[in-house]
Amino acid sequence: MAVGDGAELFVTGTLGIRSDDNIFMSKKAESDVIFDINPGVDLTFGKNAQLKGSLTLVDSFSNYSDNSKLNTNLFAGNFTSNYEDGSKLKLGFNLGYNELNQNQIDIRGLTRRDVFTTGATTEVEVSQITSIGAGIAFAHENYKRKGFTDSDSLTVPINFYYKWTPKTDLSVGYRYRDYAIDLGSDSTDHFFNVGLRGELSPKLTGTILVGLNSRKLDRGGDDTQLGLDANISYELTPKSRLTFGANNDFGTSPQGQQQKNFSLNGGISSQISDEWSVNAGLNFRATDYGTRTDDYVELNLGASYIVNANIRILGGYTYRSYASDIASAEFKNNVFSISANFRY
């Protein structure tokens, strides 16, 4: 419903079911069927205006058929806004709080944690062919389980852009990142880079940053490596798109271990009719811990059917595989899911 000039309030929700053959992502797999009910609201404002934004609130219920002790009720609230005055000034702001209980590569066993994030970005036109962009991002993670470390991260990127062609910019940039943890060593990262963004060819768009990435630990020690951050999209047809990404960066595990992470991802999506769309994706990550390197592969297949303007049906399959010199850390995982998304 309308909530004033240019603002609308939507009621949202998801009803879903998942069949997961390894709910803890462990060497010894345990399967279960999970039912998801996620009611929420979405407030949008600024339609056709320079200032736009949205506030999304979701309450997520996950119910396990065989492991009822794992049932959760988690809240998520996220606010985003952006202001754009043509090409002269761009501003962005985000604020979020998310209660999580999902597995990740370094977080096994459905570990509860709360994540708070906030940040702002700006880009100002200096002349007709130059502009300066800057930002700041802060994140705090609070774990509810022993063996995992709370963390605070602060990231500040600064970039100078030069218009090489009407649709392509060259860039010179620097990114500062401070990472503080309770277990292990705090770290400070510096990423000096050059890159380009925009339309690289009539059907190829994206951003590529390459440079020197260094990390210094507060308890002594430093390291330097090639830094890479790339995201590219290619239009195969008017209704089909191919995406590719690559990243090489330092990291810190939730247990406080130092990492070097190299990742590749690729995907394809296609709208085969007004109602049907399909997608597929493949992700690879190599994590160097200094004494060993672990490899992770994830395959995603999905389809979407639009019932009407308010209802969308989604189906998907995910395969995960983790290989390591530590045999107990390895796992394989298959997840089949189907859900209905509502937005009124």
Task: Please write the tens of the pLDDT for every residue from 114-154.
Answer: 999 999 999 999 999 999 999 999 999 999 999 999 999 99
Mean pLDDT, residues 315-329:
96
**329: DSSP letter:** G
Residue 93's pLDDT band, with cuts at 50, 70 and 90, is very high
With CA atoms as reference, report the closest residue to 308 among 278, 342, 282. Answer: 342
Both tokens of residue 184? 């292990």
23 DSSP 8-state letter: T
Q: 268 pLDDT exceeds 90?
A: yes
The answer, yes or no, to whether residue 301 has pLDDT greater than 90, is: yes
Q: What is the CATH number of domain 7-119+201-343?
A: 2.40.160
Per-residue pLDDT band at 105 (split at 50, 70, 90): confident
pLDDT band at 323 (very low <50, low <70, confident <90, very high): very high
298 has pLDDT over 90: yes
Judged against a pLDDT cut of 90, whether residue 221 lies above it is answered with no
pLDDT at residue 5 is higher than 80: no
Which pLDDT value is given to residue 47? 83
Place of tokens 């963390």: 151
Q: Average pLDDT, whole number, for the chain?
A: 96
Pairwise CA distance, residues 272 & 263, whole Å:
30
Give dist(CA 297, CA 312) in Å, integer: 28
The CA distance from 190 to 230, in Å, is 18
pLDDT number for residue 232: 97
Answer yes or no: is pLDDT of 275 > 80: yes
∠ Cα 337 342 344 (to 5°): 175
Q: In percent, how much of the chain has pLDDT > 70?
A: 99
What is the arithmetic mean of pLDDT over 282-292?
96
| Number of other CB atoms surrounding residue 131 within 10 Å | 21
Span 319-331, average pLDDT: 96
Report whether pLDDT(218) > 90: yes
pTM, two decimals, is 0.93
Residue 127 CB-density burial (10 A; 0-12 exposed, 13-18 middle, 19+ buried): exposed
